[in-house]
Structure 1
Amino acid sequence: MTDLDGVQSGEYDVVVIGAGPVGENVADRARAAGLSTAVIESELIGGECSYWACMPSKALLRPVVARADARRVAGLSDAVQGPLDVDAVLAHRDYETSHWKDDGQVGWLESIGADIYRGKGRLTGVRQVSVTGADGTERHLTARHAVAVCTGSRAVVPSLPGIADVRPWTSREATSAKEVPGRLVVVGGGVVGVEMATVWQGLGAEVTMVIRGGQLLPRMEPFAGELVAEALTEAGARILTGVSTTAVSRAGHDGPVTVELDDGERLEADEILFATGRAPRTDDLGLDTVGLEPGSWLTVDDSCRVDGSDWLYAVGDVNHRALLTHQGKYQARIAGAAIAARAQGTPPLETDPWGAHAATADHAAVPQVVFTD
């Protein structure tokens, strides 16, 4: 591993900002092509999917959905009527996330010959990247051929009266919570909303879903949302549609949360989860130093190269083509191959346009699965 208190500058063929599944795959393809590669990560190597999304959410969902299925099987239903062992479920979730330790993924990146920099990566100019460590030490890296932005996306929390004092859950808190809340309000009926409502209702919480639109999973076929709503209602959840949250407040530091709705109803809960969309992690990335807008989604071609650039790539969620881990990994392999080809002075193989753009097609052409009951 490369430490931040060593040499203060370095030059690489490729610099990757973000070491989630997308950044790891870009690095792997670059190294396989013989390109020297630096990978920068400010949190855990392995990213959102490994610690706060795919892995923990599926570990939590599996026993809940398996029990629900078993309860519908003749001859088996009576044997599975009791509650789940919450401690065992949470312990298995912790195991699947490696207890939020990234040693194994660090070892994998090191095994392919990538240099790891722990700290905040930021563009400072064309092919220039700074890395600021937790102790404030700064290093400067130069990319001979490409910089790949693989910083992913973050949960959006709406600006509501009282929101700062409530300390709301996002997908991160929902997948890493250490105990079951007695009452949970879930705002949003998309994938994160229905998956986490399924989990915590199944583990014993009283769940109320607040949906601004008319159905769950609005980007999928209507029958999918209807079936999930039926299953959640059967499990005991309450689903409110056509209503919006107007204000929230918490009594004291650890008291209950009051949720005010635009139809006049007031809900009380122990925690509130906002599953109301994603935004790109590009706010403090130095995009302004290369003529781009901080906080924006980055528009790319089909090799994931940013429009108007011959060196900057945006791979995964940040390009807004498909906010799905498996699609980000496919993009990473495309981008890695394109970077390698261009570094060797040859154009990448031509490909037909792939996938769908979220802003125009609502992921319509992208295969995806919602894991719920």
Structure 2
Amino acid sequence: MTTSTRGAARVPAVLVLEDGRIFHGRAYGAVGHTFGEAVFSTGMTGYQETLTDPSYHRQVVVMTAPHVGNTGVNDEDPESARIWVAGYVVRDPARVPSNWRSQRSLDEELVKQGVVGISGIDTRALTRHLRERGAMRVGIFSGNALPDEGTMLAEVRQAAEMKGANLSAEVSTEEAYVVPAVGTKKFTVAAIDLGIKGMTPQLMAERGIEVHVLPATATLDEVYAVNPDGVFFSNGPGDPATADHPVGLMSGVLERKTPLFGICFGNQILGRALGFGTFKLKYGHRGINQPVQDRTTGKVEVTAHNHGFAVDAPLDKVSETPYGRAEVSHVCLNDNVVEGLRLLDQPAFSVQYHPEAAAGPHDAAYLFDRFTQLMEGQRA
């Protein structure tokens, strides 16, 4: 429940973690209460892209950068039609945005979309707490007449957990749509929207690909009705262990040996389709500064991440799967988490991060070229 009020910075707010840790601050954005999974994002910039990333559905995002909102908000940078985060936590919000592209303040946008946040707390202490204890349920409560702390804690502990949550259909498009190729059309791709960001089909379109974005509930017949040269599985929220329909859909694509590319949630879906398990990370990877090594080239990329689950696959051996041999192609240099998979006997690969770089570095843009090369090879 939220109420939109101006001057929220003078309204008290409380952040309550499920383990009983409490932070007192001031309201930021809409006034009311919200619940979700507390996670932290290490990006110094790109807050607008973060807020509108559907992968953050039902998550309360803690910004580790101390100053947030400096460049305001515009209508060009969102990655989807709305803000998806369940709540927002910042230390020092900008008093006045300053950027030639700014159209309004971040605070105004949060109020407009009913997003409850909190400011003025020690986000460094909160981040360290989440690193030590792990991501957990959280509630933000703001208003001039708040419940007692025991009541707030009880409400937090009654909120839904992220483990076991099936969320991709909640953020997916309801109707299929087409992003036309820029210039000469070279290929057609069916993109399964599990929480896709707007920049992803745009970068494919810039490579001459006509992208048919399909709902998460699409059937195999609907995928092949567009006569695709390749199939793409997007990022998205939730626990991959619940994503039985996307796994079955991907298995059908693998059986037909159509060139396949998956990112983030799509990487976890490929892992499951190949017979690997998935597991929940202690606090996940979120931000635009995560170092990943591409084992196929030895190069290290600085990459953009947003995932709380990972694939449980052996790092140092080739695995036999129902679709041929598979190997781990990318690995996180911070903690050795699997960051990519590829099949050796047919054209399919995936990565655990966001190569569309919105926001983030452009080190991984080559992956869209690699997908194009797979489709060229299959056509030849």
Same fold by TM-score greater than 0.5 = no
Structure with greater helix percent? 1
Structure with max Cα Rg: 1
TM-score normalized by structure 1? Answer: 0.24
TM-score normalized by structure 2? Answer: 0.24
Higher relative contact order (CA 8 A, sep 6+): 1
